[in-house]
Structure 1
Amino acid sequence: MSNEIITTKIKGIIIELFSKSFGESPKNVHVILDERCLVIRLERFMGEIIEELILTNDYDALRSTRELILDFLLPDFLNQLRNFSDLEFDSFYYDCDDNNLSGVITGLIKDNNYQNNEDYYPGKEKIHLQICKITYEVEKVPDFTYSFWADKNTFVIVREGLLIEIEKYLIRLDGENALRTAKRTLEKTRFIEDAYTSAILNRRLAGIYLDWTFELDKSILVYVFEEK
């Protein structure tokens, strides 16, 4: 089955799941699939419920609600995906953008295909150095950094080997949720404020999404850029 057919089916599943579960579908669903990853970008995917939370300025409730929504739908989505595709994933990540009411779900294809299928693009070395610099400011330099373009506007960075000892200990104490909240607040702010990456790529940033799988000590950073 071609990627085009699979992505069309995935889009249909997402729209159906949201409509069935919440009575409202995302305003737009954009699906990207290649040999390295699956990226699903959702725009305004909870409508009035999310907008009401924004009006109350309760950003913690906003973030928690949207993460619960994605966490709730992911198992059902994967079950339906297995019915027509043999795609297998090592890990899934998701994050939301408070400013434009969008969300991104990213799945890394099994066997870490991104490691052997990196892109070579102008400024890559500078990008990796900047990513390592920012990461070091809040934790440590990643053991490995990989990057590639999922499509012409979606730039994916995978960092491996990030956790310091106190973070690993916090996870053992069931502090994963607190750690995720703290890291997302701190790290994401740094990456949003970083204009150097966009300047190197000569692109205007539309959104940035960040998540981790702590058991694998791995992180996904997704940059979405405006159309040129």
Structure 2
Amino acid sequence: MEKNSVQAEIASYIGKLLRDNFGKGPSSVYVSLKKPFITIHLRDFLAPMERVLLSQGETMKVEETRDLLMQELIPGIKVTLKVIASLEVKELYYDWSLHNRSGILVGVLENEEDEDNALENYTEKEAVHKDIMRISRQAEKLPEFIDSCFLNERTLLVIRTGILVRIEKELIKTGFEEHLKLTKRQLEKGLLHAGDFENILQKSVVDIFVDWDFKLDKSYIIFILQPNNN
């Protein structure tokens, strides 16, 4: 199957899945495939009940409910991507930008990722890493490993490993994983939005997403950028 057809089929499947489970699907689903990664960008995705909760300041409640539902959906998403697109997804990350009514799913493909090999270079890579390290140090500690690449002109992906501090690991062991995730999401995204990335990249940052796999001590950050008008 051609790449565009695969992407269209994935977009259709994800749109219907979210509509069936959340009561409202996104108005658009943009799929980008650049091995070893697949990203699924959702726009205009906010259910009526969620809109009411947000108006009452219940952001954490919306995020917690979505997290619970996504944990139920992720196994099925992995299976379906294998069936319809022959994509073996070994890790799946997600995050939301509720004020922008947007979201992201990031898949890491099996047998495609070799972390001994650096991702593609780009001009601003060193400066981006420097600011990411500064922010990581503020939020927890310097990552043991960091790399990044552009998946397309609008999507910058950053991977970090070795970022959890001892108290966070203990919270995870004692069953506070969801509370930790909600707190880290709010803290890190605030720091990332206050970062210097627009000056570094010379592009407007439309959205920033971040998610973690606490068992792997690994995190992905996604920047959605406004393309330059040439």
TM-score (norm 2): 0.91
How far apart, CA to CA, are the structure 2 residues paired with 1:57 and 1:174?
26
Paired position in structure 1 for 2:25: 25
Q: Secondary structure at the match of 1:113?
A: coil
Deviation at 1:12, TM superposition (A): 1.2
AA of the residue aligned to 2:138: E
Deviations 1:110-154 (A, max 9, x none): 246263351211121111111111101121111110101111101
Deviation at 1:25, TM superposition (A): 2.2
AA of the residue aligned to 2:39: V
Deviations 1:16-45 (A, max 9, x none): 212333443211111111112111111122
Determine if contact 1:36/1:117 at 8 Å carries over to the other structure.
Answer: no
Structure 1, unaligned runs of 5 or more: none
Deviation at 1:85, TM superposition (A): 2.9
Determine if contact 1:118/1:147 at 8 Å carries over to the other structure.
Answer: yes
Is 1:47 equivalent to 2:43 in the alignment? no
How far apart, CA to CA, are the structure 2 residues paired with 1:98 and 1:45?
8
Paired position in structure 1 for 2:208: 208
Paired position in structure 1 for 2:159: 158
Count of residue pairs the alignment pairs up = 227
Matches within 5 A, 1:36-115: 36-111=36-111, 113=113, 115=115
Deviations 1:62-116 (A, max 9, x none): 2223333433332222222222333222311111112111111111122462633
- Structure 1 residues 197 and 114, CA gap change in structure 2 (3 angstroms): farther
How far apart, CA to CA, are the structure 1 residues paired with 2:52 and 2:193?
24
Bigger shift: residues 12-21 or 96-105? 12-21
Paired position in structure 2 for 1:181: 182
- Structure 1 residues 111 and 143, CA gap change in structure 2 (3 angstroms): farther
- Structure 1 residues 147 and 4, CA gap change in structure 2 (3 angstroms): same
- Structure 1 residues 64 and 80, CA gap change in structure 2 (3 angstroms): same
Determine if contact 2:10/2:84 at 8 Å carries over to the other structure.
Answer: no
Q: Secondary structure at the match of 2:149?
A: strand
Deviation at 1:161, TM superposition (A): 0.7
How far apart, CA to CA, are the structure 2 residues paired with 1:4 and 1:149?
19
How far apart, CA to CA, are the structure 1 residues paired with 2:108 and 2:140?
23
Deviations 1:146-203 (A, max 9, x none): 1011111011000011111221122111121121122112111101111x11211101
Determine if contact 1:89/1:107 at 8 Å carries over to the other structure.
Answer: yes
